[in-house]
Structure 1
């Protein structure tokens, strides 16, 4: 209910018309001086477009509004892709730093016993795995060798052919990749011992120690079933295996 107090001044619901006019003028000047403020605000732009479509009526199709909606949807997808790429880049950088730290730690020991001990403790902690096993094939039966047992649980000496059978589950002719990632629980305790009861994923890195030497394998076991998945990239683990091979050649020479 409007009430007239003085000539030239009218109040509506307690607000002077002059004050409203002043506010509108200030808003107009603000928009004209900084139009990006409006253009960068999606909520305001949506409200303006909706008001424009409403003023056109129901029998008119605003193609500009439809095009803008499609562009906005495409922009949202691009932003999601951009965030995914950045996240993947950070993950890759973190993984690279992790492998580098593990390699530097692996190069520190001056004895083979210290090398194996560090492999099962410090290196495993850096790689965030729960169990590491170094598997070496040997024609001789070394299972009962006292010297081998003194080197700890990390080293497993097995008969020739064990590595290929373990990687392929005994399937003849099955391809053997340099790095195998899989989600499973080991069928026996032959490799991990008692830890086989809670290992749910593993990375198997094949090792080549040079001509005339039996092959080897580095097994990384994790309790987390999603730690190693077949769809993951293997470049960093392949690099780690290459450095590990060269370090082992020094101990085997």
Structure 2
């Protein structure tokens, strides 16, 4: 150093000259150099190139954030797809009706990471058979029209195949003793074919963010479609 003039180490100077990309690729170094250049030009000069670079950097930051969000969403969607596929395969394993239904509240619920799975079937008969009594923790019967009223909550809006919503607590007619713990649910409406009353598959969770109206429903609609076709075997 001589007076106010700063000298740079010769080896460092040669390294920079031979590898300028190591500075160009370092955002902090480039910003420091640009700031030093602006100070040397004085306050009366507007550096349009510097302004353009700042705007490009801001745009790059936004693009990187979007890129990370897209990747995260893709991984989440892939994980959800694998989860539904595993649940479908497990649901198709049983060859008898009772194990088929009991698996819903067992391994299928565990795979889907929900706290309750309930199947509601509408019926015009008041008497429950022995199977319904044995499967009361999974299966319940309801009067015709119950499912539409339950899903719509009394509103006249068109019903979707899958409805996701948050709850203050669950309905005891659906979830029984677990109702007070339910904070969100997915309602999967089931169509068992011409001449048959509809059904409902309710997935309940203690997590209020497990099912929200903003989430996509394609995977759950696929799961409901497979369940409908499996149920038709037992109802035929």
Task: Please give the range of the TM-score, normalised by the shorter of the 2 chains.
Answer: over 0.9
Cα distance in 1 for residues equivalent to 2:170 and 2:39: 68
* 1:156 alignment partner, SS class: strand
Q: Which runs of 5 or more structure 1 residues have no equivalent in the other structure?
A: 1-10, 13-19
CA distance in structure 2 between the aligned counterparts of 1:207 and 1:146, rounded to whole angstroms: 23
Structure number, greater radius of gyration: 1
Q: Counterparts of 2:88 and 2:129 in 1: how far apart (Å)?
A: 29
1:47 deviates by: 0.8
- TM-align CA RMSD: 1.6
Q: How does 1:64-75 map to 2 (within 5 A)?
A: 64-75=49-60
> Could you say if the C-alpha distance between residues 61 and 99 of structure 1 is closer, same or farther in structure 2, counting changes exceeding 3 Å?
same
TM-score, normalised via structure 1 length: 0.88
The answer for the alignment partner of 1:167 in structure 2 is 151
Are 1:190 and 2:181 an aligned pair? no
Q: How many aligned residue pairs are there?
A: 233
The change in CA–CA distance for 1:133 and 1:105 in structure 2 (over 3 A counts) is same
What is the Cα deviation at residue 186 of structure 1?
A: 4.5
In 1: Cα distance, 2:170 partner to 2:54 partner: 55
- Matching residue within 117, 123, 134 for 1:132: 117
Structure 2: distance between partners of 1:147 and 1:60: 86
> Which position in structure 1 is the counterpart of 2:22?
37
Contact 2:166 2:209 in 1 (8 A): yes
Q: CA deviation at 1:49?
A: 0.5
1:5 aligned residue: none
TM-score normalised by L of structure 2: 0.94
Q: Deviations over 1:45-97 (max 9, x none)?
A: 01100110111011111111111111101100000000000000000000000
Counterpart position of 2:71: 86
1:187 CA drift (Å):
6.2
Residue 195 of structure 2 is matched in structure 1 by: 212
Contact 2:170/2:183 (<8 A) preserved: no
Unaligned runs of 5+ in 2: none
Shift of 1:151: 2.1
Distance 2:170 2:77 in 1: 32
Structure scoring higher RCO (CA < 8 A, sep ≥ 6) equals: 2
Match of 1:7 in 2: none
